[in-house]
Amino acid sequence: MSVQTEIKSITVTELRRMKAAAERIACLTAYDASFARVLDEAGVDVILVGDSLGMVIQGHDTTVPVTMDDMVYHTRCVAGACRRALLIADMPFMSYATPEQALRNAARLMQEGGASMVKLESTNMQVETVAQMTAQGIPVCAHLGLRPQSVHKLGGYKVQGRDEQAAKAMLDMALALERAGADLLLLECVPAELGEEITKNIEVPVIGIGAGAACDGQILVLQDTLGISHNEPPRFSKNFLQGENDIPAAIKAYITEVRQGSFPAPEHSF
């Protein structure tokens, strides 16, 4: 019997074991019970209820309009179908501006929504917030690289960390967040070389989305993997439904390619 079939549910400890054993972590987003069940039964390790729902579910141009009530509702929908996968919920725009606000809203996502971990887009401002959250027993996934909630400040959806100074700053930030107690790191839209460097230099698992193949795991927006994106699909995504007979088969194909390291390929990286 394989290790995967023996595990009843994925935990933070199991994700760390997978990193240490060089077993790649397969993650996807979900926003409702039906898709969450398909992902969970297919063997996805982590399900993220992302504030990307603002774009793929609500039809907005950015994630900024998503509210805490939206996130609690969709997290609760997904939690009811999650049996094996670790469930992470995004903290939406301006829901963690202060440590006190972050603690209050993270509690909502866990108590009302049923999340096992929360994710927040991180800068220097969030290091103390992460420290206070983890001190209270809240598992945290820190998000570096492209931060979609800051799209208006960044001037669009652009690759981050291209120059040497920006890359060093991102590595330093990853190390600071790890010291603050972050249990997981998500890297979005960074050069593959930087993704590899960060992955090698921190002990917590690193999940990439447009961050190269060397990360400990990969995540995509579910709709992108099925070719039904509301907007133009990003370069780092792939339609796994092509060549498959149904959605469960497409999800299993994604998991297989992540586990084998064949996704992302060079054409999906920066």
CA proximity to 212, closest of 24, 5, 23, 2 = 24
Amino acid symbol at 98: T
* Lookup: tokens for 143: 């998000």
Which of the following is catalytic: 14, 121, 178, 188?
Answer: 188
Nearest Cα to Cα of residue 174 among 136, 217, 141: 141
Q: What angle do CA 148, 149, 150 make, to 5 degrees?
A: 85
Number of H helices, E strands in the chain: 12, 8
Ramachandran angles phi, psi of 193, nearest 5° = -65, -40
Which one-letter DSSP state was computed for residue 234?
P
Distances (CA, A) of 114 to 71, 87, 149: 11, 8, 23
Q: Does residue 27 contact residue 207 with C-beta atoms inside 8 Å? A: yes
Report d(CA 237, CA 16) in Å as an integer. Answer: 25
Q: Tell me if residue 188 is catalytic.
A: yes
Please, what is the Cα angle at 193 between 191 and 197, to 5 degrees?
120
C-alpha dihedral, 172 to 159 to 239 to 24, nearest 10°: -10
So which residues are the catalytic ones? 188
